[in-house]
Every structure is written in structure tokens, then in C-alpha cells.
Structure 1
Amino acid sequence: MQQPHLEVRSKQLIDVDGLRFKDLNGNGELDPYEDWRLTPAERAADLVARMDLDELVGMMLINTRFTGFIAPEGAETSHDGALDERTIEAGTSIFATRKVFGTTETIERLKLRHFILRDPVSATQLATWNNAMNEVAESTRLGIPTLAASNSRNENGEPIFGMNDAVGAFSTFPATLGIAAAILGDLAVGGDASLASEFAAVVRQEWLAAGIRKGYLYMADVVTDPRWQRIYGTFGEDPALIADIIGRLVAGLQGERLDGTSVATTIKHFPGGGARENGFDPHYAEGKWNCYPTPGSFEAYHLPPFRAATATSSFMPYYSAPSIAKSVVQAVDGVEIPYEEVGFAFNRYVLHDLLRGQLGFTGYVNSDSGITDNMCWGVEDLSIPERFAKTINAGTDLVADTNNVADLRAAVDHGWITRARLEEACSRLLIEMFALGLFDEHTYVDAAAADGLIAASPGWELAAATHRKSVVALKNSGGTLPLPAGTTVYVEVFHRSPERAELKTTQARAAASEHAGLRLVERPEDADAVVLFADPQSGNYFSSTPGLLELTLCEDKQLTSTGGETYAETTLLGADRFRGLARDARARGQKVVLSVNLAMPWILDDVEPLADALVAGFSTFFDAQFDVLTGASAPHGRLPITLPASEAVIAVDEQGRCASPNDVPGFAKQQYMPEGSTYAYRDADGNDYVLGHGLTW
């Protein structure tokens, strides 16, 4: 084997057989875990045998870790401002229920080595931060390095904790639904899903430059309930398409096998979070259940993308628990699923028997955040040490967003978790770290070069092309589009937030004014065409709405809560003005072009009739949309989700049963609808807004 380049900052290098190795434990000898000639499994086996209980416990927790670069003014930092050394009191978020200690103390005393990176900082700052953490880790007893995982950073969207933590520092694509829309367009013209492979290649290249070696990438969940707020982070509702995309992403990010050029993936949320109960999400108690009321839905619709991803380094199970009362018997490969009504991270059948036994997965299981404190569905009555024992013995190897070493150690001290199980979990975790080269030549990266490498990435050009390809033309009455050269346009963006509406309107008008084929006017009555962008928002990521999540474009709509009380809901501030602008323009004989951002499958039954042309975007840049509206780019995208026809087709009765099944994707719901009811929306021109719909001209 070829001698790797090794860098140490506190330990020494030793020479053996004419080769150099890191003396990570400082004993002056070459121990097996320090020997880069051995396999990752051999090195991991040696290291876990040397680790004490506290080191094993610390290795099995992953916690959010902030950089020092955006710490509040006057906050304690170290390593020239890279490391955040603050102590943060408990209760700062639904995950941070424990006191958070400074970075150095967390590495040295708590012995954590896995961290979740959320800060929106530059690539050079990320690399500097990673280097500083590893410098601290190198100085500890065994010199075990750190590994930071990040949620996606290469898709456009509004920053949301745990979903879109950082946007814009890396090449920026449309939302994942937009990537799926572009790929469906490729398939429609005889192509394939190679865009997913190209996307993975640039993400890998950019993240390597910044020293990010682990990604919570991507959601393999199949959309089956239209009210689920996390739809925008998925690749839509087609299990076969998602399986193709996810398989390509795992291969593209990791390579044929994990090595020093890989970004290791964590695919989420096994065994599929899309089977919501009327849209409620398990970040809160109202959404704790996964429901499977339709025979065969688990295997036919939810499992295929995860089957395609078994080469991933790790899987993340969802918070939700399977409901017996709200499901029928489901089976996988002829084996019936024995429902245990506990969250999937506590569910031994799902993690051990199904994932490892039937699907053949050999990596590690990384829980979702906060399962031992808040989102502990089905085990709420257990003590926190008992919850640790339940999830780890079920098959979880890494417990997320906690630094609670005390309660995990208590579970060990009570005899509820054996040392053998700790060593098994830590071996799986360490195999990944050894394979990635974190103990050897890839502990540190060239931070100074990172920003330049990102700026020169081919990802920017690919992203721009993908934005254009993602636009879906839903309706084009009378050949309204493309807009002729020289068309005067009035442009406005509507949002739930007035500040974001103003900002996005400024951005959209700038994009229109810079487009050679358009002339921007200030008043709608002076325009040839009124172009309105709707960017609706519904609900809150971390708490349930009083009633069902709203999918219409509305302002102060009076609704009834689950408790029978009246409340008001707004998904689009100025919704009445939005409709009024469209009506007035039509009355004046102007063309009306509407664009709706499909973060969710919005109900458009009282919006579409107002439009001469209607397009869909997916956090798609405004300049790309104007390219399509003017014909500079041909419309290419296809719908990755089916849009419901009306509120009636997703109505929920007094028993909580939806008119269309929650566990079946939109393209297949029609076969389960009551006679005379049609699930998918049909517009005034006869277009059905189903999976794969998209016009061209």
C-alpha cells in the first residue's frame, strides 16, 4: 500500500518498516488501530477493545455543534474564533433539552466525536472549524477524530432548522421536488435519471473541499399524504423514481465503497415517513402514528426506495410508530410485520429483523433528533435511561441531538446495555471513520482553498440548468406562453410573511428587468401581462395546527379545530388581493400568468381558473422561471406529485378517516376513491394535474 500523507498537530509520527504512522495514543508503538495497512473492520475491533465505558458511551451520541464564527458578540470562542466554547442552558429547542457545553469540553470530558453541523457559514469557515475540532480530538487519550454530519446544503429554500439549515454557500439547485421534476422531464423525452448522479458528484466534490464527510442525505420517503409538511424535502410520490434517484445519490456520494474521497450518506426516514395520519408530523404528539390502512401499501409504496439504498453507510428511522388500530396486516417478502406500537428507533423488528435481516443492511442506525427526551413515542412511560436501553437494544447505534452521557451510562451501569452491544455499535461507527480516512490523511483539509474550490465548482452551471428544467407548465390557454419579445409585465410575489413577500418581489422584479425579452412596469394596468408568484406556507414544522393542515391559498380562512373551536388560517398573505389582481387583469383584457411554488400539493381549484397560463416551481430561481415564460428555455419539468382536486377529496370524517387513503400515493388514489369522486385536479383546459403532467411548446 502507498504511504499516505499524514499530518499531526499534537501527537507524533512513528516509523515502522520504512513507513510512517500516527502514534495516536502516544505509547511510542504501532497499535493495530493506528495501522493504515489494516482494514477498517480490523482497526475498529482493536480500538473498541481499548476504549473505556465513557469513551464508548460518548462515541454513541451525536449532538448539534455550533461554530464560533456566528456566535453572539462577546461569546467565548477558541482557535481564532472557530470553536464555540459557550455553555448553553437546557431547553433552547425541542432537541436541546440538556445543557450544552463548549466544544473543547464536549470533546474532552463528554467524549463525543459525532456532531450535527447546522451553521450557514462559508466552506473555508467549515473547513477551519472541522480542523480545529480534530486538533482538540487528536490531543485526547486515544486521538479519535471527530465527524460532523450536515443536512443538505445544495438546494434552494427557506432556512428551517433541521431541513434547510444553510442555503447559498454551495452550488444551489431547486428543492429536491424540483430535481425530481427535472428528471421526470428527462424521462419524458427518452432520457434517464443521470441528473441525480451528476448532482451527487458535485455535492460530493464541494463537501469534500469543506471537510464535510457525512450527510443526512437524502429523504427516501414516498409522499402519500398531501398534508405532510415535509413533502418539499422529498423526491415526490413515485416509488420507482425515488428508488432510482436514491440509489444514484448513494452511489454518487459514497462511491463503490467508502474511502477517502467519499461523503458517507444517512438515508432517511426508514421505513418511510410519508404514511402520515392526515398529514400530522411526528415532531409532535398528534402525528405519532404511521398508518397503513391499505393492503400491501407498506411493501408496494413505502419500502422500494429504502431497498435501493442498502449500500448507504447509515439509515435514520423516523419518530413515528406503526398503529395497529389504524392499519391492516402488512407483509414484506411474504413475512407479516409484527406491529410494535413504538417509534421506529425503538422497534427491534423494523431495525433488526427487517432492515438487517431481510434487506441485508450492514451499516449503522442513526436515530432522529430528540428521541430520548421528546419524540419518544410509545415509550413515554419509560425513564430516560430505559429509553436509551430500548433504542440501543432495538438496533440504534448513534442517538441523535443529545449529549446526555449520564443517562446512557446509567443504562449501562444498570446492566440494561452490555459492553458487547456498545462495542458492536461503536465498531460500526468507527468502520465508517476509518474508511473515510479520518484517522489518517483526511483528518485535516486545506481550509484556505475551500472557498475557491466551491466557486470553481461545475455545480453552479448544473444547478442553473436544473432550475430551468424544473419548471412545470401546467396550463397554457390560447398559447399565452411564451410571452412575445417586448412584453410589458407587472410582477409581484405573495407569501405568508410580509417581509419575505417584499424581498422576493424585489428579487423577481430584478430578474424580470434583467431579462432581454421583457419590460417591467410599476402598475398592473400598464402591463401586457400580469405575472404573479404565489409562495404559500402552511403550518409549523415543530407544532401541529389546531385542525388539519390547510392546502388552499387563503387569508384568515375560518376553520374548525379538532376540539370544535373556530380559528383563522393564512397560507398566503394578501390572497384576496392576489385573486383581485388576476380578475382585474382579465377584465382589462391582459394576460394573467401565475406561478405557484409547490412546496406542497396545493389545492388550486379557485386559483387556476383565473390564469391564462399556470406554471409550477420548486423554490426555483426567478430568472429560470422567466426563461421559460419567455421561451428562452423550453418547458421541461413534470409534476412529481399529484395535486388534489378539492378539499372534498382529502376531507376527514368524525372518525378521522380521510376520503382518500393516507398510505397510497396520489397517482394510485383514484382506485380507492368513492364512486363519482376524482382525486386529481382537472383544469379548465382538460389537463389533469397528476404525476408526470407537464406541457411543452
Structure 2
Amino acid sequence: MSMALYMQGPRVIKKLESHMPAASSAVAADTLTAQDGTRFRDLNGNGTMEPYEDPRLSTTERVADLVARLSLAEKAGLMFHTQVVATADGRVSNVPIRPGRAGAADLVGGKLITHLNVIEMPGPRAMARWQNAVQELAAQNPHGIPVTLSTDPRHGFGHNAAASFAAADFSAWPDQIGFAAIGDADLVRRFGDVARREYVAVGIRAALHPSVDLATEPRWARQYTTFGQDGELAGRLVVAYVEGFQGATLGPRSVACITKHFPGGGPQRDGEDPHFPYGREQIYPGGRFDEHLAPFRAAMAAGTAGLMPYYGIPMGLELHGEPIEEIGFGFNRQIITGLLRERLGYDGVVCSDWGLVTDAQARDGSRRLPARAWGAEQLTPRERVRRIVEAGCDQMGGEECVEILIDLVESGDIPESRIDESARRLLGVKFDLGLFDNPFVSEDEAATVVGAPGFVAEGLAAQARAMVALTPLDALPVRPARLHLDGLDAAAAAGAADIVDDPRDADLIVVRIAAPWEARDTYMLESGFHAGSLEFAEADIARILDLAAMAPTALVVGLDRPAVLTPFLDAEITLLAEFGASDRAVLDVVLGVAEPEGRLPFDLPRSMAAVELSLPDVPGDTADALFRAGYAASSTAGITDLR
């Protein structure tokens, strides 16, 4: 079928126009009353309440009716989950996110794609207006399938834009690794509930999180989005996380979780990430595959709506006496169908990670990123799509090549019944979320709920709780009158003490520094990944030690992954770790306004030599670690209200 042919239809005639919403009243635009008094959205525009439009019927009944009505193009559109930019003016733009891609108007009105991953987002009111416009555009399609908007995490500190975003208008909480440091399932559940409310207010109904990979390779760049190295803790916290976002069951106020990266993305060879060709291989020299799988079992038991496989190739892996093909997890039928579907009995949505089929290019054309078709590099895009679908995935993340899937079905290479299987799963989530009955949101509610003062205060308190005292806090002056700040904004200390420029004039020096990494910028996205050595540069070590010789010093290290802190241990420095915190939260802890309650969620190694000798799939095996997971220094310092 040609692209032009499947883009036609009487209800798609305005597909390339920009649409302004009718705000929260848009729900009434196509709402009718059946003869028995039932109110329904007339999604196919025929004036009759079809079973899939009937809000009284079960999800199973509505899905069965709708799947039988859909064209192949509509079903194919369900199986792609791609990226868009939400515009500040609230209009559905046709500007692509990067070269060679379609804009939101063409994706929804032309390609009939109904799962959109929002990358850039305006303020809450504008975001609500834009999402309503997207839903109005989708309602013009033949059966009016509503759009599901998704996002990567947006409530932390955005260390890596390829994996998460800074909170911006949303309330800011610790990064996921910070919740592991606190270890409080009730707090995780509360966070999930707050984040759910903020997401729902602007129309986001799917979370491309949490990550339950185990942080067993100290160099891996994605550890800050995990629950640390302990599988039992990760399993306990992911249950609370899913409950907070989804509730007891998916419903009209839920956010569906897509838990990742099945079957565990932590054991990377040399700690390199499989976003890039040099990080393709996952290895299990310690034989711990099942340990990495365990948190996913917990997520499935909690009812996670979806799972996402990672990019990596399982190297030398054997399960139940069967060698596993050395091809990326998203292409791997033994993993997706054999292990996940058949052995573990999972019947939820499986969405591949982003970009398994086609290459990507930065907006300015300066960097490229090859398709993460590891083990399938020699296959054509058509062959890759076929392998992904045959493996058992329901969606292709970050792709929009619907024409390839349509051609595969029309040529007989993939039976349409296989497409129907995925369509049923994907539509079931949309019905459960209530999107068919009301996909619209209130601009006023969005402006009120997102970043509500109470939510912001809860997030700030959690940031401080997540910090870990690595050495006792008793050595810090209780009421420092003069502070010298290095790496912190002086505004965060307003009212607490005078800020001095010369560290020799200070009663207390506070240094904030990120864990070290090696800068790389060959591939698109690569500069955002903190990879390589965990050792600080000699110049940074010397500078900090020089400061510590001038006045009492607190060194606060941002541990998005472990760092080698050995050079600072013998100096008279108070060491603290933070896992996603504002300068205000950091100073609250240093100045005694808040108490750090965290414990290390992973080992801190003594040297890179020890890291290089450790096994990437084994937690806590770094020889003679400086600090072990679960460690926190005791302190007798009290809480003092200085503000």
C-alpha cells in the first residue's frame, strides 16, 4: 500500500492543518446520547453508539469490537511509539523532531500513529492546550483512536537527556537512585502518586519508567535511573512505584508504567552503554542472570502495563540448557516470546527501546547515531521490523516506518492475526486509561496541579533525606557565619550565612562536584552519557585538597554512578553523597537544617584497578571497597533551624 493511499479518508482531510483546542470543553464536541440515555463519544462519526464506543462495556468487549473494525493502516499505526516536540503555542506542528522524521500533525493525521513520546514540553497550561489539540486531531481519524502521550522521567535532575529530563515545571524529587538510598517504599509510592497527578494534569498517560536494572557494573552510565545494586530492594521499590503511578488497577486517573530494561540492562561489558556500538555486549561471567531478572518478576506481579527490552546482545548466555542467540534483546524471540511470554506468562505490552530500525541524526546534522540493531546490523530496515515483530514486541520505539509493517503484512511475510494480537494489547491499555471516553484535560487544572507548592516541598525534603553522610557530620561548624561556596549558587544560602569570595575568610567551605566521567562526543547523544573512569582528575583533587587546608570543608559529590573518593578520605574533609538534589537541599543538610537519611545504594570502589577486576553481573564484588552498599556514617549532630 502506498503512503498516499493509506493517508486518505474523509475524516483525515484536515491532517496537515494546525488545530486549536476548545480547552476542557472539547469532550462535548462529539458526545451524543443513545436512545437509552447513555452518553458516548461518536468516534467514527456515524451517529450510532457502536460497542467500542459504549462506556458500559468491558475493555475486553470494546477491544474485540474495535479490532474487527480497524484497517491494517490503523492497526499498524498502533505499533509505533515515536518522539515529538510539544509546541508552546498549543498548535499541532508538522515540524519534525529531527531530519528525515515527520512532525506531530503528520504522525497522527497521516501515519495514524497514536503513541507519542514527548521530548520537549512547554509550561503546564500550554502543554494541556497542545495535548487537547492532538486529541482533536486524532478524533478526526476513521475510528477516532485517542493518542497516548508518554515521557521519560521528568521529576529529577536530568543528568542525561537521552534518559531523563530535569523537573522544570514539575516538582523536583531525588533521581530514582535516591529513592534506593532512602529505601522507603511508602515514600516511593507517594512520589508515584504525586508524579501521576502532575502527568495526568497535562495529558501524559504513559511513563517510560521505572528502570529496574541492577547497578552491578560501577562504570555504567545509567545507574542514576535504577534502584541500585540490590535486587531485593529493587523488587520491593518497583512494586510501590507501579502502585503509585497506576493504582490498584489501570483507570481514568492512572499513568501506565513501561518498566525497563528487560531482562536487566546492568551487566554491560566494561560498563559501556549499548546506545553505542562499543557497548553492544551484555555478559554474565558470574552467572547472575536470574538475579537481574528478579525485579522484573516483581514489576509483573505488581501489574506493570508494559515492559521494554534493552539494546544489548546477551553474550554466551544459556537458559534452561538452551544457548541464547547473540542478537539484541528487542530482536530476540527466545527472550521476548520464549522467556517473557511463555515461561513468565506476561501478556502486557512489550515496547522495544528507541531506534532499532533506522539511523538517527541530530537536528543540526552534526552527529549521527546508527540504529541499535546489534547483532542485526546486516539486516535491512524491513528485515529488522520483521524480526522485532516475530520476536514478540508489540511496539517499535522511536520509529515511524508504518509503511514497512503494512508491506510485510500485505506481502504475507507477517500474518495480520499477529498484528491483531498486538493491537488488542495496545488498545486494552487505552481503554483502561479511559482515553476513549475522555482524553481531554483542563488547562486550569494543569496550571494548578503541576508544581503545586506542597508537591515541591515534599520533593525538596526527599532530596535531603536521600543524601548519605560518608563521614560523620560532627566536624562541621554548627552555625557558620561565613560560607565560601564552590559549585553552588549563592542564592541557595540566602539568610543562612554571609557568602565570602576568599575561602580563607570562611568558617565553612562547601564544595559541590559531580562524579567524574570521560567526555565523548562522536555519536549523537553520546556527550550526555557519563562513562569511563571513575577517578577524579589530578587537578580537581589538588584544588579540593587546597581548599580543605584553608577552612573546614564539606565535599558533596553527586553520585549518578560511583566515584573513587579515596584521595579525599585522609584529608580533614566531611564527605557527603547526593543522588539528585538542588543546591538548597544540599545546604539544608550541610547546615544542619535537614538530616540525611540515605544509605549507599551501591559500593564505592577504592580504585579503578578493583573495578576492572570485578564481574559486571555480580553486585558488591569490588575488592576492598572504600564504602559498601548500605553504608552511612553515624552522626551526633542535631537539627538546627537556621532559616
Q: 1:156 offset after TM fit, Å?
A: 2.2
> Are 1:693 and 2:632 an aligned pair?
yes
Aligned equivalent of 2:475: 480
Aligned equivalent of 1:397: 394
Find 1:646's aligned residue among 604, 607, 623: 607
Q: 1:582 offset after TM fit, Å?
A: 2.6
> Are 1:212 and 2:207 an aligned pair?
no
Aligned equivalent of 1:568: none
Q: SS at the partner of 1:322?
A: strand
Find 1:519's aligned residue among 498, 511, 514: 498
Aligned equivalent of 1:617: 578
> Are 1:579 and 2:518 an aligned pair?
no
> Are 1:492 and 2:473 an aligned pair?
no
Q: Which amino acid aligns with 1:365?
A: V
CA contact (8 A) 2:156 2:165 kept: no
CA 1:545–1:520 in structure 2 vs 1: closer, same or farther (change >3 Å)?
A: closer
Alignment deviations for residues 276-326 of structure 1 (CA, whole Å, 9 cap, x no partner): 00111110111111101113x0112x01110110111000000111002xx
Q: 1:695 offset after TM fit, Å?
A: 3.0
CA 1:224–1:585 in structure 2 vs 1: closer, same or farther (change >3 Å)?
A: closer
Q: 1:513 offset after TM fit, Å?
A: 3.8
> Are 1:371 and 2:356 an aligned pair?
yes
Aligned equivalent of 1:95: none
Alignment deviations for residues 144-179 of structure 1 (CA, whole Å, 9 cap, x no partner): 111111111111234x33322342211100211122
CA 1:233–1:166 in structure 2 vs 1: closer, same or farther (change >3 Å)?
A: same
CA 1:634–1:89 in structure 2 vs 1: closer, same or farther (change >3 Å)?
A: closer
CA distance in structure 1 between the partners assigned to 2:107 and 2:53 by the alignment: 24
Aligned equivalent of 1:510: 491
CA 1:109–1:585 in structure 2 vs 1: closer, same or farther (change >3 Å)?
A: closer
Q: Which moved more, 1:421-430 or 1:529-538?
A: 529-538
Moved over 6 A (4+): 544-548
Alignment deviations for residues 19-68 of structure 1 (CA, whole Å, 9 cap, x no partner): 12222112222211111111112111111111111111111111101122
CA distance in structure 1 between the partners assigned to 2:143 and 2:70 by the alignment: 8
Aligned equivalent of 1:231: 223
Find 1:662's aligned residue among 610, 616, 629: 616
Aligned equivalent of 1:550: 533
Aligned equivalent of 1:299: 290
CA contact (8 A) 2:306 2:350 kept: yes
CA contact (8 A) 1:634 1:696 kept: no
CA contact (8 A) 1:11 1:139 kept: no
CA 1:157–1:387 in structure 2 vs 1: closer, same or farther (change >3 Å)?
A: closer
CA 1:626–1:425 in structure 2 vs 1: closer, same or farther (change >3 Å)?
A: same
Aligned equivalent of 1:469: 465
TM-score by length of 2: 0.88
CA 1:28–1:218 in structure 2 vs 1: closer, same or farther (change >3 Å)?
A: same
Gaps of 5+ in 2: 1-23, 359-370, 637-643
Find 2:91's aligned residue among 82, 86, 93: 82
Q: 1:81 offset after TM fit, Å?
A: 4.1
> What are the equivalent positions in structure 2 for 1:166-565 lying under 5 Å apart?
166-183=166-183, 192-295=184-287, 297-300=288-291, 302-310=292-300, 311-324=303-316, 327=317, 329=318, 331=319, 335-336=320-321, 338-373=323-358, 374-440=371-437, 442-456=438-452, 458-476=454-472, 479-481=474-476, 483-493=477-487, 505=488, 507=489, 509-515=490-496, 518-538=497-517, 539-540=519-520, 542-543=525-526, 549-554=532-537
CA 1:584–1:39 in structure 2 vs 1: closer, same or farther (change >3 Å)?
A: closer
CA distance in structure 1 between the partners assigned to 2:618 and 2:555 by the alignment: 29
Q: 1:520 offset after TM fit, Å?
A: 2.1
CA 1:391–1:468 in structure 2 vs 1: closer, same or farther (change >3 Å)?
A: same
> Are 1:598 and 2:617 an aligned pair?
no
CA distance in structure 1 between the partners assigned to 2:191 and 2:322 by the alignment: 36
CA contact (8 A) 1:294 1:661 kept: yes
Q: Which amino acid aligns with 2:404?
A: D
> What are the equivalent positions in structure 2 for 1:131-170 lying under 5 Å apart?
131-158=132-159, 160-170=160-170
Q: Which amino acid aligns with 1:680?
A: A
Q: SS at the partner of 2:195?
A: helix
Q: 1:694 offset after TM fit, Å?
A: 3.8
Q: SS at the partner of 2:197?
A: helix
Q: SS at the partner of 2:120?
A: coil
Q: Which moved more, 1:228-237 or 1:451-460?
A: 451-460
Q: Which amino acid aligns with 1:610?
A: A
Q: SS at the partner of 1:640?
A: coil
Q: SS at the partner of 1:594?
A: strand
Find 1:39's aligned residue among 58, 61, 83: 58
Aligned pairs, number: 595
CA distance in structure 2 between the partners assigned to 1:457 and 1:423 by the alignment: 45
CA 1:598–1:87 in structure 2 vs 1: closer, same or farther (change >3 Å)?
A: closer
Q: 1:121 offset after TM fit, Å?
A: 2.0
Percent of paired sites with the same residue: 34
CA contact (8 A) 1:120 1:166 kept: no
Aligned equivalent of 1:58: 77
Q: Which moved more, 1:393-402 or 1:355-364?
A: 355-364
Q: Which amino acid aligns with 1:486?
A: P
CA 1:484–1:7 in structure 2 vs 1: closer, same or farther (change >3 Å)?
A: closer
Alignment deviations for residues 67-118 of structure 1 (CA, whole Å, 9 cap, x no partner): 222xxxxxxxxxx54322225663xxxxxxxx22232222122111110011
CA 1:388–1:609 in structure 2 vs 1: closer, same or farther (change >3 Å)?
A: same
Alignment deviations for residues 461-510 of structure 1 (CA, whole Å, 9 cap, x no partner): 21111011111110138x313x22134221101xxxxxxxxxxx3x2x22
CA contact (8 A) 1:601 1:642 kept: yes
CA distance in structure 1 between the partners assigned to 2:57 and 2:619 by the alignment: 47
Aligned equivalent of 2:102: 101
CA contact (8 A) 1:280 1:544 kept: no
Alignment deviations for residues 648-696 of structure 1 (CA, whole Å, 9 cap, x no partner): 1023xxxxxxx11011112xx15xxxxxxx3411xxxxxx343333433
CA contact (8 A) 1:14 1:28 kept: no
TM-score by length of 1: 0.81
CA distance in structure 2 between the partners assigned to 1:48 and 1:171 by the alignment: 39
Q: Which moved more, 1:237-246 or 1:347-356?
A: 347-356
CA contact (8 A) 1:24 1:142 kept: yes
Q: Which amino acid aligns with 2:70?
A: M
Q: Which amino acid aligns with 2:402?
A: V
Q: 1:546 offset after TM fit, Å?
A: 13
Q: Which amino acid aligns with 2:565?
A: L
Aligned equivalent of 1:186: none
